[in-house]
Amino acid sequence: MAPRLYMMETCPAVRSVLLTAKALGITLDLVRMDLSKGENLIPEYLKLNPQHTVPTLDDDGLVITDSHSIDSYLVEKYASGNSLYPKDPCQRAILNQRLYFDSGVLFPRMLTILKPLLQKEKDIPNEKLADVIEAYEFLEKFLEDQQWIAGNSVTLADLSLIATVTSSDVIVSIDEKKFPNIVGWIKRAKDLPYYSANEAGLDMFRNLVKGLLNA
């Protein structure tokens, strides 16, 4: 039985899992959910994931939440030794730091802007915009003198952050002149043979945000 992924394509974290699975050639049983209808709050789903977030992976009874945990699990179980999640402790330490940056810095800062938009607020406080731009500045530094987020080869850090960054760019546009490293990295990521796993959900996210801003 294929691992089952409870998901919603507009969510960047979900798209990072889709990217990882596609990169590894893993077929997932996709269960699409509509959080706006409260499908993540039904008792059956709360039993799987009390935090009622997506994505949630159910692999033959093993339930894993949080995209970063899911991504690393998929590599370790189905493609151990794959360069997406190298076993070298030094490489993995840097990679993990970038994943924590995604979950602890960039994604939460984007979310502080997105949540009010979902609640029909249109005025985005300047300090929240500044927080996201500061996160871009950190990311720009990470990419100095290297092609990818955690070095010169693609890792899970790239697959996680490309989903978040391209979504964040919809809300807080990335200045091409100020952040050339980020812009170059995005272009390289788009050339990856499995990048299409990010595209449909990103388009849906873009349309969602556009609708909220124009409502």
Query: Could you read off the pLDDT of 47-61 as tens digits, one per residue?
Result: 999 999 999 999 999
In whole angstroms, give the CA distance from residue 151 to residue 56.
29
Q: Note if the pTM is more than 0.85.
A: yes
Task: Tell me which amino acid residue 47 is.
Answer: K
Assign domain 89-214 one CATH number from 1.20.1050.10, 3.30.200.20, 3.40.109.10, 3.10.20.30: 1.20.1050.10
What is the band of 121 on the pLDDT scale with cuts at 50, 70, 90?
A: confident
The predicted-structure confidence for 59-101, as pLDDT tens digits, reads as follows: 999 999 999 999 999 999 999 999 999 999 999 999 999 999 9
Domain with CATH 3.40.30.10 in the chain: 4-78
Would you say residue 215 has pLDDT above 90?
no
| 4-78 CATH, one of 2.40.10.120, 2.60.40.10, 3.40.30.10, 3.40.640.10 | 3.40.30.10
pLDDT at 189 exceeding the cut of 80: yes
Tell me the per-residue pLDDT of 191-204, one tens digit each, with 9 for 90 and over: 999 999 999 999 99
Euclidean distance between CA atoms 154 and 190, whole angstroms: 12
Residue 166's Cα: distance from chain center in Å? 9
The set of residues, in sequence order, having a beta carbon less than 8 Å from that of 107 and lying 6+ positions away, is 12, 13, 164
- CATH 1.20.1050.10 residue window(s) in the chain: 89-214
Q: Give the number of other Cβ atoms within 10 Å of residue 130's Cβ.
A: 12
171 falls in which pLDDT band (50, 70, 90)? very high
Span 12-19, average pLDDT: 98
Residues contacting residue 74 through CB under 8 Å, at least 6 positions apart? 3, 17, 20, 21, 24, 26, 57
Give how far the C-alpha of residue 48 lies from the chain's centroid of Cα atoms, to the nearest Å: 21
